[in-house]
Amino acid sequence: MKNKLYLLLTLAVTFVLAIAVRDDFIRFLLGFEVLLTLALLADRWALKQSVTARLRLPEEIGVKDTPFAVEVGLENAGLLPAPEVRVEVWCTDEYTGRTEGLSGAAMLDSRGQATLRFTLDCAHCGRLSFRLGRVQVWDHLGVFAAKCRTAGGVQQVSVLPPVPGGGETLSGGQAWQSGEGEGLSRRPGDDPGDTYDIREFREGDAVRRIHWKLSAKTDELMVRDFGRPMERTTLVLLDLRAEERPDRAAWDRFLERVAQVSAGLLAGGFAHEVIWYQPEGAGRCAMSVSNERELQWMLCPLVGASTYKGDEIGEEEQDTTEQDRAVIRIGLTGEARRTGGAER
């Protein structure tokens, strides 16, 4: 901006002098300044047509208190090098609605590329939205700037709570499956310590389940299935009712508790279904969890969920009446209550 003001002021002064004083040198100087201004404007136009900025998120999932990256890819398709490209990235916390800006600058060679990388460390769980703000390229004297073409739109990162390595593994997994601590009738393979089956490795399987000796013999990764094949025997019911929206610390504790309970069920060898209700959005939300990857997939929409007022917990109440269906209810306080579907 300063360089532009200096140039315009110089042009104005030279123009006045050229009118007031009949001097060939001043007229020459005025002509040179006009041509320089036109050349810089043409330079700016050419760079504007050549430079493109694209927003990139290497990962769509982050973890609380763990750094993650936001990248802006810059490309110059023209023959002229771009001496300076200034980039703004806007980050919006969807829980609070607060927006903060990130900024950086880079140079681009002729037909060159560059990447601006911003590293963030989110102190809370939730969903962050990113979009490109103003992206400008400057001419070679830094006088005029023009907006560049942008791509990438709005992209989101779901910041999840840390998933416990083993969660709360309760004895034999039976405490999660009972109403008041009384286990359901035990069948062969109910004990998660038993190896129920051995199968080929699938994406999402825990590394600790790999049968290394058998894998070495077969030259393929083989994993143990502990307990019976995971069935949808447990329902985790999330109660998001609240008179007032919880603060960030309370919301973090709730999400961490859900992750803890879900990881504990998986560590005990039990698949489960997590259900919550969004009256003003998707309505009944149900996610099946049978491995660690699906646990992450379940947490992604949950971190962006909203609390609501009301006496009804939603349609998922019907699922708690199924026979032999254990139910774990988790409220916003983080308290988990276990009941048995057969007893209701």
Contact 66, 164 (CB under 8 A): no
Q: What is the pLDDT of residue 152?
A: 87
The predicted model gives 294-301 an average pLDDT of 91
Of 153, 128, 321, 146, residue with least CA distance to 237: 321
- Averaged pLDDT for residues 314-324: 47
Does residue 74 contact residue 51 with C-beta atoms inside 8 Å? yes
Residue 313 has pLDDT above 70, yes or no: no
* pLDDT value at 259 more than 80: yes
Q: What is the pLDDT of residues 196-221, one digit of tens each?
A: 578 888 877 777 778 888 888 888 88
Stretch among 71-85, 137-151, 208-222, 328-342 having the lowest mean pLDDT: 328-342
DSSP 291-334: SHHHHHHHHHHHTT---B--S---GGGGGGGSTT-EEEEE-TT-
What is the enclosing helix (H) or strand (E) of 51? strand 51-56
This prediction has a pTM of 0.72
- Range with the poorest average pLDDT among 33-42, 85-94, 196-205, 291-300: 196-205
Phi–psi pair at 42, nearest 5 degrees: -65, -40
Nearest to 257 by CA among 334, 160, 169, 161: 334
Instruction: Name, in order, each residue with C-beta under 8 angstroms of 69's C-beta and a sequence gap of 6 or more.
Output: 57, 58, 59, 117, 118, 119, 120
> Rounded to 5 degrees, what are φ and ψ at 147?
-75, 135
Interstrand relation of 234-238 and 326-330 (parallel, antiparallel or unpaired): parallel
pLDDT at 195 over 50: yes
Q: Which region among 201-205, 310-314, 316-320 has the lowest average model confidence (pLDDT)?
A: 316-320
CA 215 to chain centre: 35
What is residue 35's predicted lDDT score, i.e. its pLDDT?
93
How far, in whole angstroms, is CA 164 from its chain's centroid?
A: 19
CA neighbor of 273 nearest in space, from 334, 224, 318, 333: 318
Q: What is the pLDDT of residues 36-45, one digit of tens each?
A: 999 999 999 9
Amino acid at 292: E
Are 131 and 153 in contact by the 8 Å Cβ rule? The answer is yes
Closest to 55 (Cα-Cα) out of 40, 70, 72:
72
Cβ atoms within 10 Å of 47's Cβ, excluding its own:
27
End-to-end CA distance of the chain: 72
